Amino acid sequence: MRRKNNALGRINKQIVMKPTHIEHIGIAVKSLEESIPYYEEVLGLECYAIEEVKDQKVKTAFFKVGQTKLELLESTDPEGPIGKFVAKKGEGIHHVAFAVEDVNKALTDAEEKGVRLIDKVGRPGAEGLNIGFLHPKSTCGVLTEFCSK
Ligand code: ZN
């Protein structure tokens, strides 16, 4: 990644699109039905929505923890991104999503800083949000999502 250093030799921290909070954490599971009881019965959270996102070949279940959500992702197709992820790595944290004011601006800003993008422009995600992903090779191994309303 291209880095610009400031006078103190630190990475230039000039951020145009600073995230306001973690919107959600995406967690890949084999089965929503088998995973939801853990979140409800052990953690005491409530699943408030289940939604299929055909574009991403997943069924999602949502929980709220304060301002942040947990998004469980069950693959509906072994060839989809979550199907491949679970086959290779098993269940677990899949991505971290940051709330930003404008996904398209945040993606452009990241690209200008040398980050490889998965999405050049935002696309529709679950819950009517506009979403876009950065490539994990450019984000220290964490698949990173931006989302905005
Ligand atoms: Zn997500």
Indicate the pTM of the whole model. Answer: 0.86
**Ligand 1 center from residue 7 Cα (angstroms):** 36
In this predicted structure, what is the pLDDT of residue 55? 82
- Residues 97 and 43: their CA atoms lie apart, in Å, by 21
CA 44 to the chain's CA centroid? 23
**Ligand 1 center from residue 145 Cα (angstroms):** 6
**Ligand 1 center from residue 40 Cα (angstroms):** 20
**Ligand 1 center from residue 85 Cα (angstroms):** 14
**Ligand 1 center from residue 72 Cα (angstroms):** 9
Buried b (16+ CB within 10 A) or exposed e, 95-119: bbbbbbebbbebbbbbeebebeeeb
**Ligand 1 center from residue 23 Cα (angstroms):** 8
In this predicted structure, what is the pLDDT of residue 101? 95
Domains of the chain: 21-148 (3.10.180.10)
**Ligand 1 center from residue 144 Cα (angstroms):** 9
Along the 149 residues of the chain, how does pLDDT read in single tens digits?
A: 555 555 555 555 566 678 999 999 999 999 999 999 999 999 999 999 999 988 889 999 999 999 999 999 999 999 999 999 999 999 999 999 999 999 999 999 999 999 999 999 999 888 889 999 999 999 998 999 999 99
In this predicted structure, what is the pLDDT of residue 53? 87
Q: What are phi and psi of 5, to 5 degrees?
A: -95, 145
**Ligand 1 center from residue 42 Cα (angstroms):** 23
